[in-house]
Amino acid sequence: MLSAGAALIAVMVPMTGVPVVAAPETLCRVKDDRLVEISGLVTDGDGYVAVNDGADKESGRKIFYLSGKCKVTRTVSFPSQPQDTEDMARGADGTLWIGDIGDNDRNRETVGVWRLAPGAKSPTLFRLSYPDGAHDAEALLVAGDGTPIVVTKDPLAAGVYVPAKPLNASATVPLRRAGDFRIPVTNTDNPYGLKGRFVVTGAAASPDGSKVALRTYADAFEFDVEPGGTADAVVRAIGAGSARRIALPDEPQGESIAYSADGTALLSISEMTDGADDVDMLRYPLPDAPAAVAASSTSPGAGTKKNRTSAAEAAGEGGLPVGALAAGGALIAAALLLGLVIARRRRSR
């Protein structure tokens, strides 16, 4: 049986392919003091919809509709107080889903997803329970068939969970662990250093459902989904062993991720930090059909493929060498665990 440190090192997957790196475009700036902890984002026609990360103030516990210039145009209230909203997803029929899935202290008996159907005045809550104890999570996807998919914030190997039965607003529905996402090793700069590269903080699906993306505080990883768009197809894509990496360097606290309305770019917006009173929405263009790089393997020698890169992309950082991981693996694992424990104690979200 592997020790805790060895088990962590076993899932630290080196990524030697050059990431997709292009200078992001600033689309607009959010200046509304009700939107200081944006953690969930989707596109909505020419605008956006956003939710805060477990807002402490009642004014922030709403679903916010924004114009293309990041101005709040209207809000929708929850019928009861959510515990810790962390992400958003948009279904193929336009239904909005809000993941009330944060559990920093891992003490919730149930988590939930809120569903806001087109034209509805308020969302409906569906409660869910994990089969293996509490998990903190910040990423929500909705498959083309309308099935919500929760990706946990467990370091290095995030759990991928789906409902074991149809959702029921009157009863808690158990989740089942359908797969895992073994987060590739990168060295992309971010405010949280090593631990910021090894936890999933958001998710998004392309408008046509053919791609999904998971993000950390440092990078996004994009996967191709088989035609049909079922939850099983999404889970297979995430666990298939390859992803396209899009570096998201130096974002203040990047948790939200969304596809642009035309599917050609990823959009990101950070939570406000250090007393900031505004934050930029960034657009990261996606290349056409880049080659994939390995994203899931327990073999230290597993090969990877390099992405096709432009001059701008080649200026980005590559992955960490395998030798460096072998030499410092135990220290890295221990530092990561310690950092995550400290972060959980300091942060309420």
| pLDDT value of position 97 | 99
Cα–Cα distance, 163 to 179 (Å, whole number): 13
Please say whether the structural domain 4-346 has been given the CATH code 2.120.10: yes
Tokens of 161: 């969970």
- pLDDT tens for the chain, 349 residues long, are 333 443 443 344 454 445 555 689 999 999 998 998 999 999 999 999 999 987 678 889 999 999 999 999 999 999 999 999 999 999 999 999 999 999 999 999 999 999 999 999 999 999 999 999 999 999 999 999 999 999 999 998 999 999 999 999 999 999 999 999 999 999 999 999 999 999 999 999 999 999 999 999 999 999 999 998 899 999 999 998 789 999 999 999 999 999 999 999 999 999 877 667 789 999 999 987 444 445 443 232 333 333 322 222 322 333 333 333 333 444 454 445 545 544 554 444 4
Residue with tokens 């953690």: 39
Cβ-contact 153, 134 below 8 angstroms:
no
Q: Give the pLDDT confidence score for residue 325 in this predicted structure.
A: 38
Q: How many residues does the chain have?
A: 349
Please tell me the predicted confidence (pLDDT) of residue 22: 67
pLDDT, position 277 = 75
* Cα Dmax for the chain: 57
